[in-house]
């Protein structure tokens, strides 16, 4: 039997009692053109990327690989899932201060 635990809080997720949520995260470098002139050229960008990839050594691709593309998968318990959905990018949420109407 496969046992799952929450990747955030490390709690064991009971398949009978709890729902298990899977978060799949894919991050890739955005390569935007430097200026408007580059938008109008007739280059085959896919071919250029293919040529660059063919020229890279395995050692070079190890160095730039994580900077260009990453794919991750996380198991979350119901409580961590609710917290993740409220704030998926983990931004600091400022505390709301209540002031009296003096």
- Report domain extents, the chain: 4-28+44-86
Cα separation, 17 vs 32, in Å, equals 47
Cα separation, 98 vs 95, in Å, equals 10
Which band of pLDDT confidence, cut at 50, 70 and 90, is reported for residue 97? Answer: confident
Cα separation, 84 vs 89, in Å, equals 8
Mean pLDDT of the 39-59 span? 71
Reading the block at residue 70, the tokens are: 């990453």
pLDDT at 23: 97
Mean pLDDT of the 71-93 span? 94
């Amino acid at each position: 039997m496969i046992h799952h635990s929450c990747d955030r809080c490390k709690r064991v997720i009971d398949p009978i009692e709890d729902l298990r949520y899977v978060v799949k995260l894919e991050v890739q470098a955005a390569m935007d053109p430097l200026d408007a002139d580059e938008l109008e050229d007739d280059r085959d960008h896919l071919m250029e990327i293919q040529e660059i990839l063919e020229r890279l050594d395995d050692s070079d691709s190890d160095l730039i690989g994580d900077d260009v593309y990453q794919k991750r998968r996380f198991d979350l318990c119901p409580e961590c899932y609710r917290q993740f959905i409220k704030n998926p990018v983990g931004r600091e949420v400022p505390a709301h201060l209540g002031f009296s109407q003096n």
